[in-house]
A and B are shown apart, each in its own frame.
Chain A
Amino acid sequence: MHVSRRVNRARALGCFCLVVASAGAERRASASPLLEIAGGVGGQGGFNGRTVEGGASSTYYNPALLTDADSGLSVGVYVLSEQIGISYAGRPGTQYAVPVGVVNATYPNGSPWPSYPIPTAWLQNGRPATATTAALPARPRGSDGSGHDVFAYQMIGFVTKLFHDRLALGAYALMPYSRFTGADAFYADEREQYFTNSLHPELYGDRLVATSIAFGGGVRITDNLSVGLGFTLNLTNQAVTPTYVSNTGELQNILVDSNINVLVALSPHAGVSYKPLPRLRLTATAHAPEKLQIDTDFTFLLANGVQEQAGIDFTHDYMPWQIGAGASYDVVTTRSDTVTIATTLIYGQWSSYLDRHSEAPIAAYGWYNTLTPVVGARVQHGDVRMFIDSEYQPSPVPLQTGRTNYVDNDRLGFDGGADCAFELWGTAFRVGAQMQLQRLVPRYQTKLATPPPTPDGLDHYPALVQDEVPDNSILNGQPLAGAQGLQTNNPGWPGFGSQGWLLGGGVNLEARW
């Protein structure tokens, strides 16, 4: 909607205060993790951005709706706080601890274990220095988790029209102030003992500082039908680090070169908007999968001429195929007032999820595809617009009763906001504010018991918590003490729970022409 009326200073301030007082904000869902969680910043899209025009943010949520957006430049500041708490169940006894000294233990035939856990006592209490080895700091279970952060973002949006408003081009970005993008990898099983020895929310944290830039355009084919096509960035970082090691006892003196490439690909999304009736709008959207991929290769050259190579891939900010369908209806339309109700249903193909180590969840605990309903309303009275949305995002993560510890919860969210149009120095502006509150519904899971070993010694239950100390282990030719039964450092064992809140808010200003 374009506002061309002049307003005086007092009215401009009045509009602004009204916006602030509303303490609610709208945004819309979009494909990047951050954009999907935060919804549209600026405009009236909110969580219903796939169905309702949201200014520049429609570039991401449904580019077909750009044809209804005002031309202009939008800027805003948004702050999002995640407060996700994880509760760890107490370990029931010391017999489940990995004993000290296992590093030299083997199978009865002398072959080594596939991997060696850290003694539980060392993790919890650290290990003092010896004559030849520096002290190992304690890394207690649950002491280095994540999920308690506040992020601030700069929103920038732009919309322009061409060909008598038949073509609309848009750009939309939500950029963290702290860092352009972030990617923190962790394992969702017992391997995390080697790092933080803690659990981490799977779909938040570093995903809230994901790259969130979208470009797109919409075409008004008829007065009632628009289509749009947009793109977000798919980044692939390739890092090769040739390393020369003159002495493995002095790793601080290694020589390293680097060869880093950043490849940019475009992940497409498309939308359609159709108005079969003057008051009714139907929309459909499709967002292709997105991810930030990091391919890392290491090459080690030793002084004796031996050269070794290794590589590991990371996948961050993975978003699956998302298909949306929505409808909005103007229940009230008068000269000065409009009341619209809107709803969107979003299908997410989370069964294709890849975690940060590019691993798919174990098949026995495969992720669910989800349907996320969104409902909301919009009210326009003169120069003032307000919206409120609610969505329920079911968690794609099944109860983690096995080896993996993907921490996630169902999420119930509310998003609302208001903006006000005014004119200043001959230019039309719209100032707005919005706020959201999302509840991560409490969830708790207890790990299933690991079956006793079978005579063939093979692990027939790889989906369950792993016994990290084989029962038939030997040390110095003798059976390893403390090996019988389950020993594990899986930080999620014997159970864990999670719950939390997302709280966000911000202000924005749009200059229109």
Chain B
Amino acid sequence: MRGPSQACLLCLALALGQGLTGACAPDSVAPGYYADDAGADDASELGYDASSTEDDATSDGAYEGGTPTSPQCNMNGRWLVAQRVLAVALGQTQASHNWFYYEVTQNADQLTVTKGLHCGYEVVAVSALGANVSSQACWPDFLKYDSDTGRTGTMEVTPSGCELGFEKRYTVRGATVSYYQDPSTMLPTVSEKASPSLPGWISWCDASNPGITLVITGSASGDLYCVQRDWNEYAGAVAANTTTFQVPVTWNSDQDALGYSGSELVTMQDVPDSDPSQHYVWFAKLGPTQATGTDTEICAAVRSLVPMLTPDALQ
């Protein structure tokens, strides 16, 4: 006595399989609008134009400067200064954007910043897991306590054009500026709060946290309370008769984390990227109607002009 044959079972399986896969209810996506420009984050595609002309250079007659060695290498005037440097932390890169306002007087080859405002900075992620840092709440204090007034430099005539240099300058944030500008001093620890008689950290940024309060987003997020001491030095060739130009920057930064909320990763200290071409500062000469008013108004105007006058400084 035998049971059902294998052939019979196979036929059954085939019949079932055909029936099972026959039913169909496909997915469908109706036509719709998603976006019309995938690259609109590029400042150059937003209609901004970084070029400038000699006409710009003649529009600042209201500013009284000194007498340069050569009119072709003339830094007299009011300048938007936008510094862009690249930093690395744990293999990730971030671009730091610092914005300044300079009024420069040039006598012969010597430059003096007669008014140097710190208008703030931001850090934006460049690599996929980089960090974004907002210091916006601190901008009023940067303007109030930090200054590049008195910074000196040179503007020399060279066979190919001009050579610009600004001295090494230290910037302290979140601590007694006059004391910690000396690079031989150690930045304060969390126990070293400033008093009327002793230097130490100071609560900036309209907050009660120690030092400055930075808001960090990206692969790690949280608030960082810290003191910072940066230095930068500008030196490089400049074409003659140019009013918007870029020169290389050398820089470094020292940071003492005094506390944080959120991820501990926000306390990471970064270092300059090894590629020197990633560190530069843009100068753009301002017209007589641009960036005027109080210091606060000047800085607000500087920040709004950066995307238009020096968009490459936001890369």
Contact = CB atoms under 8 A, between A and B. Distances in A.
Q: Do A and B assemble together?
A: yes
A302 B220 CA distance: 13
Contacts of A8: 1
A3 to B, nearest CB: 15
A261 B269 CA distance: 38
A506 B16 contact: yes
B152 to A, nearest CB: 30
A94 B126 contact: no
Contacts of B35: 94, 97, 99-100, 119-121, 124-125
B20 A504 contact: yes
A503 B20 contact: yes
Interface stretch (B25-33, B105-113, B176-184, B237-245): B25-33
A270 interface: no
A304 B268 contact: yes
A140 B34 CA distance: 10
Contacts of A20: 8, 12
Nearest to A198: B27
Nearest to B22: A503
A112 B34 contact: no
Contacts of B122: 104, 476
A90 B34 CA distance: 9
B91 A250 contact: yes
A52 B221 CA distance: 59
A302 B217 CA distance: 18
Contact of A248 (B4, B32, B90, B215): B90
A429 B3 contact: yes
A109 interface: yes
Given A81-B23, A477-B303, A109 B136 contact: yes
Main secondary structure of the interface of A (DSSP, over half): mixed
B134 A96 contact: no
A249 B1 contact: no
Given A122-B38, A133-B128, A303 B90 contact: yes
Interface string A64-94: 0000000000000101110111111111111
A247 B90 contact: yes
Contacts of A142: 27-29
Contacts of B17: 79
Contact of A94 (B33, B124, B307): B33
Contact of A104 (B39, B128, B132): B132
B157 to A, nearest CB: 35
Contacts of B307: 476, 478
Interface residues of B, number: 66
Given A94-B34, A429-B3, A248 B92 contact: yes
Contacts of B13: 77, 507
B127 A132 contact: yes
A16 B91 contact: no
Nearest to A142: B29
Interface string A120-163: 11111111100011100000111101011010000000000000
A251 to B, nearest CB: 8
Contacts of B50: none
A141 B29 contact: yes
A475 to B, nearest CB: 9
B3 A12 contact: yes
A353 interface: no
A79 B20 contact: yes
Contact of B4 (A128, A143, A147, A431): A431
Interface in A105-124: 106, 109-112, 116, 119-124
Contacts of B32: 89-92
Contact of A88 (B12, B30, B217, B264): B30
A101 interface: yes
A256 interface: no
B136 A106 contact: yes
B19 interface: yes
Contacts of B53: none
Contacts of A86: 27-28
Nearest to B31: A90
Contact of A505 (B16, B40, B91): B16
Given A133-B127, A503-B20, A106 B215 contact: yes
Interface string A7-41: 01100110011001000000000000000000000
B27 A80 contact: no
A114 to B, nearest CB: 10
A308 B220 CA distance: 10
A500 B25 contact: yes
Interface of B: 1-5, 8-9, 12-13, 16-17, 19-41, 90-93, 122, 124-129, 132, 134-137, 215, 217-219, 221, 263-265, 267-268, 300, 303-304, 306-307, 314
29 contacts: A16-B4, A83-B25, A87-B28, A88-B27, A88-B30, A90-B32, A96-B33, A100-B40, A101-B41, A106-B136, A112-B132, A112-B215, A116-B217, A122-B38, A132-B93, A132-B126, A133-B127, A249-B92, A302-B90, A304-B268, A422-B3, A424-B2, A425-B1, A433-B12, A435-B19, A503-B22, A504-B20, A505-B20, A507-B16
